[in-house]
Amino acid sequence: MNTVLNIAHRGASAYCPENTMAAFRRALELGATGIETDVQMTSDGQLVLIHDESLQRTAGSPRLVKDVTLEELRELDAGSWFGPVFAGERIPMLRELLELVKPYEGVQINVELKNSVLPYPGMEKAVIEEIRFQAMGDRIILSSFNHYSLALCKQLAPEIRTGILYMEGLYEPWEYAARIGANALHAYHYAVLPEWVAQAAERCIAYHPWTVNEPAEMKRLLDAGAAGIITDYPDRLGELIKAPNGRR
């Protein structure tokens, strides 16, 4: 039986400030077999890992990511908002995460392109170039709520897997995924039922629901046949996967 991907959402974001190197390292320590993160671009074209378009919530600046240079971004504290022990954490670059994970054979990275609110022209090409530079194409899943962007990624790099992010109500999403060449469905977890997982699996399309933190819901999705689960608590999911009735 295939191993269920234990994907740490923005790193181990229940324990460390999200999308920081501390969160990514902690995810690996807790046994995550995948790390999910969000990529955006600075004004000078650098790929950085942060969820919000604004720097306010996690770095205390009212500016937008797209309006600052990498040097300006690196001056911001991205850890203190979570707790004083994380003071001085910086917003990392995509390259730093790839270099961290590279020695951990088999660990996957889900890179979400955050381009559904603000456009980042050329981001798809830049992300793919960085992935190829690190020779990690077989360990990456590119996802986005911007499905035009995913289609472009597939044109630029057919060898890199893509995952469609969506909320509830997408009719026969496996058919839609096949149409744009996507390999996975990154559905809000309420939009995952066993019969739908089975329909997708018949077309070699995996379900990776998000963001699942309660053990009961994790168990339901494991029983439904999800190929991976995105969670803030990779330790909780890991325990369920290792349980006698879990899916290894």
User: Which residues carry out catalysis?
Assistant: 9, 51
Q: How many residues make up the chain in this entry?
A: 248
What b/e string do you get for 128-146 counting C-beta neighbours within 10 Å, with b at 16 or more? bebbeebebeebbbbbbbb
Cα 141 to Cα 55: distance, rounded to the nearest angstrom: 25
Can you give the C-alpha Rg of the chain in angstroms? 17
Concatenated DSSP letters of 166-193: E-S--SSHHHHHHHTT--EEEEBGGG--
Cα 196 to Cα 174: distance, rounded to the nearest angstrom: 8
Asked if residues 14 and 233 have their Cβ atoms less than 8 Å apart, the reply is yes
Write down the residue that tokens 């077999």 correspond to.
33
CA distances for 136 relative to 22, 91, 119, angstroms:
21, 22, 25
